[in-house]
Amino acid sequence: MNKLSILFLALLMPISYLYANNGSRDFYQIKVYHLKSSEQEKTVDDFLKTAYLPALHRAGITNVGVFKPLQNTDTKGTENSEKLIYVFIPFNSYTHFTKTENALEKDLKFRNEGKSYLDALHTDAPYERIESILLNAFEGSPKFNTPKLSAPKKDRVYELRSYEGPTEKRYKNKVEMFNKGGEIGLFKRLNFNAVFYAEVVSGSRMPNLMYLTTFENKADRDEHWKTFGKDEYWLKLKSMPEYQNNVSKNDTRFLTPTDYSDI
């Protein structure tokens, strides 16, 4: 994202989203690389592992998540020929986000180690497109958490969910359900090992909130949700009149961390 894009983004988003928190709540970016071949996947993997993550570490961001779909299917189970790589980057504020972009531009080691990717020819592009989602952490979960898991990374299942709202007002109602209604507390009590809960402030799907929970494996994930579905507080919460009709679409992605992911 160049300086012009960042300026344009600042003009589009409400000032309250960008500066009101003053570092009290994290600001996240999820980059999704859309790839068409194994060659592109290898190129992006190499770039992220040897150049991008080390550069972010030098810029003070020590916990960067890199994930791939657990299965190459969409949410309906249909085979998907497109390959995806998700990169989760936690910043302590929007200002930190913009300063990091500037730091990468000036990082000569990054430019050198990422040269084959950064200077790729237009006839041999390393990806089809990059999707960028910017998020503001929930008030009820202002800072991200590293998952407390013991299973090898290859066995872990991370669940990225997004809840779209039918209107801005109903979407805000779902956010309130997490913050004031106690849904975050319920996930915490049942040990869902959430990395973050956040509002999407810029992305292709809005209004929208997203969160990422983590599990030792698929069986562990299924058992957690089974317990969640029968929980007495959840049954009470979801039936409250004030929290009805606040989600129009729930998109669920099962991911697994790469071997070089920090989280």
| Domain layout of the chain by residue ranges | 3-257
100-155 pLDDT, tens digit each: 989 999 999 999 999 999 999 999 999 999 999 999 999 999 999 999 999 999 99
How many CA atoms, within 13 angstroms, populate the side-chain half-sphere of residue 176?
A: 11
- Coil, helix or strand for 72? coil
Give the span between the Cα atoms of 12 and 17, in whole angstroms. Answer: 11
Give the span between the Cα atoms of 87 and 63, in whole angstroms. Answer: 11
Is the model's pLDDT at 2 over the cut of 70?
A: no
pLDDT of residue 14: 46
Determine which of 11-20, 86-95, 210-219, 240-249 has the lowest per-residue pLDDT on average: 11-20
188-197 pLDDT, tens digit each: 999 999 999 9
Is the model's pLDDT at 19 over the cut of 50?
A: no
Contact in structure between 177 and 246 (CB atoms under 8 Å)? yes
29-48 pLDDT, tens digit each: 999 999 999 999 999 999 99
Q: For residue 44, which of 87, 81, 104, 1 has the smallest C-alpha distance?
A: 87
Contact in structure between 262 and 53 (CB atoms under 8 Å)? yes
Q: Report the pLDDT averaged over residues 61-70.
A: 96
Give the span between the Cα atoms of 142 and 146, in whole angstroms. Answer: 13
Pick the CATH number of 3-257 from 3.40.50.970, 3.30.70.100, 1.10.3470.10, 3.40.50.300: 3.30.70.100
With bands split at pLDDT 50, 70 and 90, how would you rate the model's confidence at 205? very high
Is the model's pLDDT at 99 over the cut of 90?
A: yes
pLDDT of residue 80: 63
> Across all residues in the chain, what is the average pLDDT?
91
pLDDT of residue 196: 98
pLDDT of residue 72: 55
Supply the pTM of this predicted model.
0.88
Is the model's pLDDT at 206 over the cut of 80?
A: yes
With bands split at pLDDT 50, 70 and 90, how would you rate the model's confidence at 71? confident
Is the model's pLDDT at 57 over the cut of 90?
A: yes
